[in-house]
A and B are shown apart, each in its own frame.
Chain A
Amino acid sequence: DAEITQSPRHKITETGRQVTLACHQTWNHNNMFWYRQDLGHGLRLIHYSYGVHDTNKGEVSDGYSVSRSNTEDLPLTLESAASSQTSVYFCASSAGLNTGELFFGEGSRLTVL
């Protein structure tokens, strides 16, 4: 069955370190997204991609970067982790631009000490 997987599922890191969260989908979807979810804020869009070599900034992109070298993967990098980036991160993908159905990964819980 097609799926979307994230790794690591849990990570603790220190302020200033670089962190990469992996996202891999086997749906062959063109559209991929990264969200963060915090209490009191709900899901907020960080970056998104509509296809290979396409990346776009979302609502809360500062301090994050993504790259899309193939259809399956959209890794999220925190160049210099900050305590404000402690959150649960969700990767998602979708088949088309007109559908409202996103398929989410199980989430990556990141703690920055």
Chain B
Amino acid sequence: RKEVEQDPGPFNVPEGATVAFNCTYSNSASQSFFWYRQDCRKEPKLLMSVYSSGNEDGRFTAQLNRASQYISLLIRDSKLSDSATYLCVVKPPSGAGSYQLTFGKGTKLSVIP
């Protein structure tokens, strides 16, 4: 099983739709979780951290299910500007190499007018 797995998509959704991405991770001792956004031919940028209790940032909601080892990102009321690739990122447990973030391959989202 790969360390971090994401559905590559693409997800093609109309403006205003709600879309959800899931990500699974293999190391149950993983410490922290994040979603990054990468626009086409651009660098990745942190979108939001994922907290155990779930967290929201405007139209974006991130959730963590430690028991099932998956993370989700929900985008409500999709905008054209949300079109990008969303990367799931996992931080391993404390210890040697604990800062080596593991990136998923990304899920591509296209929001259609």
- Identify the A interface with B (CB < 8 A): 31, 35, 40-45, 48, 50, 58-59, 90, 94, 97, 100-102, 104-107
Q: Which residues on A sit within 8 Å (CB–CB) of B42? A: 106-107
Instruction: Compute the total of residue contacts between A and B using a CB distance below 8 Å.
Output: 47
Interface residue tally for chain B (C-beta within 8 Å): 21
Q: Are B105 and A40 in contact (CB under 8 A)?
A: yes
Q: With A40-B105, A42-B103 in contact, do A97 and B98 touch (Cβ < 8 Å)?
A: yes
Q: Are B44 and A90 in contact (CB under 8 A)?
A: yes
Q: Which chain A residue shows the least CB distance to B105?
A: A42
A13 to B87, CA, bound (A): 30
CB distance from B108 to the nearest CB of A (A): 12
Would you list which residues of chain B between 37 and 61 have a CB under 8 Å from chain A? 41-46, 49
A43 to B85, CA, bound (A): 12
Q: With A42-B106, A43-B87 in contact, do A102 and B100 touch (Cβ < 8 Å)?
A: no
